[in-house]
Amino acid sequence: MRFVDEFRNEADVQALAQAIGGVVTRPWTLMEICGGQTHTLIKYGLDRLFPEQVTLVHGPGCPVCVTPLELIDRAIAIARRSEVIFTSFGDMLRVPGSSTDLLSVKAQGADVRMLYSPLDALKLARANPDRPVVFFAVGFETTAPANAMAVWQAEKEGLENFSILCSHVLVPPAMEAVLGSPHNRVQGFLAAGHVCAVMGYHEYLPIAEKYRVPVVVTGFEPVDLMQGAHMLLQALEEGRHGVENQYARVVSREGNVPAQRLLREVFEPCDRPWRGIGVIPQSGYALRPKYARFDAGKRFDVDGITATEPAECIAGQILQGLKKPHECTAFGGRCTPEHPLGAPMVSSEGACAAYYHYARVR
């Protein structure tokens, strides 16, 4: 398959591993932003091809993992209303709230439906004009344009029974939160290629300059990640900072300008809590006043619901690269995909899930 098979070529991966070994002269800590990249690294055993001096830590780039606990509780409160059709991507259904999850609520009789697109939620709203349809709009800049399109289309059609529970988060503020932490140990980033495909990589230039770190926009296949890491380690060894683009077959500096225009039309930046991390200023999207009537949190009066994270789950430390999943005392014991304490164990992009599924215990 073009653009896939050639980026899974084992000989190329091994050659890049040798090249990395020839570059590294001292210890470095790299963070891959995206949970999809984490899964590729662990699934293919790429992390074991790096020299001992290189430490890979996993970033906050899993949208399911960073959705705050109180938002799961708000989603459950809406889904339990008998008149509501609650819709969501499948990943969110098993993420634990304070006392239950959406899949369990569905088993108890709630009308919770798994969808593959927010535009399918619009179809449901058109087909069920007498029932409110809510879509759980979760994700980074990658999925936000589709949700913006759904809201824009609903406004255009005058759909009164459609709304979204908005939980969009943004990558650049999260990177700044990691770099600004007094506990930070990240020296360079592998940036998420699909986010940059939408937003471009110009947003990363001020961060690289401010914190004097190298950032390499990187794809998701094994060769992509090894090539991105090689570029990143070369920059670190040479004392360079700035932004480089390994994923040039998909990403441009400017990104998808029409998608960005639609995002600005429907959303505005807002402070946003991240599960296990806390509030990061200007790290999320909220609906602009023009589209406020599509805000399910306000429509169903659940914005006042709050929640407290379980102390036993160290998801926040894992998502900031401070610890690895196997360093959690609950990993694989009290916390498994069947009985997760936190979202990283149950999300398909979660770091804990990657370590669990591929039996990575060290």
Dump pLDDT digits (tens) for 246-280.
999 999 999 999 999 999 999 999 999 998 889 99
Q: For 83-87, 120-124, 311-315, which range has the lowest pLDDT when averaged over its residues?
A: 311-315
- Phi first, then psi, for residue 50 (nearest 5°) are -85, 150
At 227 the pLDDT is 97
Please state the separation of Cα 362 from the chain's center in Å: 24
Q: In the predicted model, what is the mean pLDDT of residues 301-325?
A: 89
Number of other CB atoms surrounding residue 349 within 10 Å: 20
Q: What's the pLDDT score for residue 311?
A: 81
233-243 average pLDDT score: 98
Closest by CA to 194, choosing from 358, 33, 357, is: 33
pLDDT of residue 359: 73
Q: What is the pLDDT of residues 210-228, one digit of tens each?
A: 999 999 999 999 999 999 9
pLDDT of residue 1: 57
Q: Which of 166, 148, 203, 182 is nearest to 33 (CA)?
A: 203
User: Poorest-confidence range of 55-59, 183-187, 343-347?
Assistant: 343-347
Say yes or no to pLDDT of 340 above 70. yes
The pLDDT of residue 310 is above 90: no
Q: Which two tokens stand for residue 234?
A: 């070369």
What is the structure's pLDDT at 281? 96
Distance of alpha carbon 230 from alpha carbon 193, whole angstroms: 16
Per the prediction, the chain carries an average pLDDT of 94
pTM score, whole prediction: 0.91
Q: How many CA atoms lie within 13 A of 215 on its CB side?
A: 25
Q: Kindly report each contact of residues 231-234 with a partner whose C-beta sits within 8 Å and lies 24 or more positions away, as own/partner.
A: 232/30, 232/188, 232/189, 232/190, 233/20, 233/23, 233/24, 233/28, 233/30, 233/54, 233/188, 234/23
pLDDT in tens, 278-291: 999 999 999 999 99
Taken as a whole, the chain contains a residue count of 362
In this prediction, residue 362 has a pLDDT band, given cuts at 50, 70 and 90, of low
